[in-house]
Chain A
């Protein structure tokens, strides 16, 4: 007669073995990892995966993660990571250097259909790694009611820095808690101004060139909104970010990307607003492009099926379908641009928003710079951002901020072998 203790232990052992078996059986399925953007987009992605399974017979599953970079990092470290996953342009250098991204050259179908600037963003050391999935650019949102009340003309594509400053001054109303322009203390919001002045962080050889006159001019201009009193951070007007401040009417202008379209149409449908391109600096136009790609993991149990899936999702048909329900980002193929513009007609009905304004974001692709820094530059970004915060309150000057940033950059560059 078997003792009860033995039976209990054996059943526990059996359960463990069976669950391990179930876990390993899931190796056949392709795992697609990304973050959850909004319910409609998630539903569309899952629908696309279902259709992929019907067309090819390969199972695929979308697994969204809340804190995507952290979750992926732990997955990479263990050596057991998903077959297909998103990569944000800012993370590409780190993840390629870590050896977890498979090379895309030769595997991608119709790469000529993507915008060239996006392909460049995902090319590292001369090699193309992944397929761009979408992109967002920064543009200037303006509150038409506040402009009318102050008697200021709406922004145009020919606006210069002086126009922007003058308008911000006239539109600021301290008593009503309204500022002219929200200027986030972030490097990636200031960079367009640097590029518009003809400056840059690095030159073609990779030398640090942000200690230039252009950088000083651009930085002084950006800081003067706060110190002059007609601009500032979002929380100086009690908002979490520029879009919220803009929606609530606490700022007449904001510099946000495509994500703000859906946010405003859904949460502030009565807002009378428009979008124009960012103003020109003395050298020309510039904006930032935030873009994400579909990449295939290097250590992969099914690389062929993974590339098939990536091509399916970023091919012409896949891009059209994603553009139809996009919550903000624009399709990475020019062929789907029209679908994207038409997508906003429905939600914009009943609001005062003119869908044609979305074109200001789309045009940005022509002169947008990617948000991407070399490996190890996060401390540089942090040092710049925290110095910029101090400069907004007048504690530091533009020269001091640039000096701090340069010291940080030099230290990072001496660290990297």
Chain B
């Protein structure tokens, strides 16, 4: 080999290990290839979405960034314990998916993801206000919003038609009236007031707000024990007795899905998982007339109360953990997953059950495919945070985690306390938190 030829081939080798080489080889550099990112998420109510993570994201992120993605899924109600254990022991998943306002509780154990939130928000039409309020502490993003599961009422169109209600009730009073008739026909409304992460708060908090009740004022002073809150609890007590499946006091987030799909209940506040399951199992889930069940399901927002119409939607967010030795790779994975091309692969299989964290996803063609899902498209625009009108911080998260508002309604609905007593109890518990 001549000297010139030798130098040429060595030069090509050096180039191959540099940027040109990386681009030419379509492979990530050696340091990134060694990274493993462990992500802990819930068992998705749309199992196809977990399949995308495992069967699409895992190989693709390995190819694109050299990151070995390790996806672990558990029951959503068990995630807070894993987060606490991880932060205290200093080891655990690199990314933990958190629900509701949990990012506020675990903020001290998080890595700043403001850069990713800024980029994604700017490129995709802005992040919705509700997930933003859950994920920011003092202007810093402690978690990155991944998706929102809007809570809307799924209801049996034909059953409401049969009692003469052609349009879904717009007020709580009218919904009560319709529910009473349906329960008399052994077709009650099905809702949980149990200790569970999703349907319980999305039902309890908005009903309180729609009657004018709130936990605290803007300064964080407890104002729950108002005549408006008492009125909302009084309404719920009667509404529960007259129109609901009273077994709902012991339900978790999956009971209403099963009850609806088996034809036991006429309506339930839920994500779109009932409809998506009915759609995917069209041969299995039928109406009493033998038609596919999904053809008899429509969606509507929660009715309005005397002081307005409100909603609370469950935010799903990703926190990169401060203890993680792979925090840099974890952030790179999130940045990669949030690009339009990659996020689309996950969000389309959700069919609207979970919606994107930014406004641009409202423009996706998926919304043209099924008019029944349309109410979910813009649902994330509306929504209040727990602890309104105070900050959505640790105290609001603690109050939620102790199920104080949910139990305020549950105690009265079950007859364990009178509405006035239950509100007084809840206000007392809140005061211990907001001291």
A binds B: no
A-to-B contact residues, CB < 8 Å: none
**Interface residues, chain B, with chain A CB atoms under 8 Å away:** none
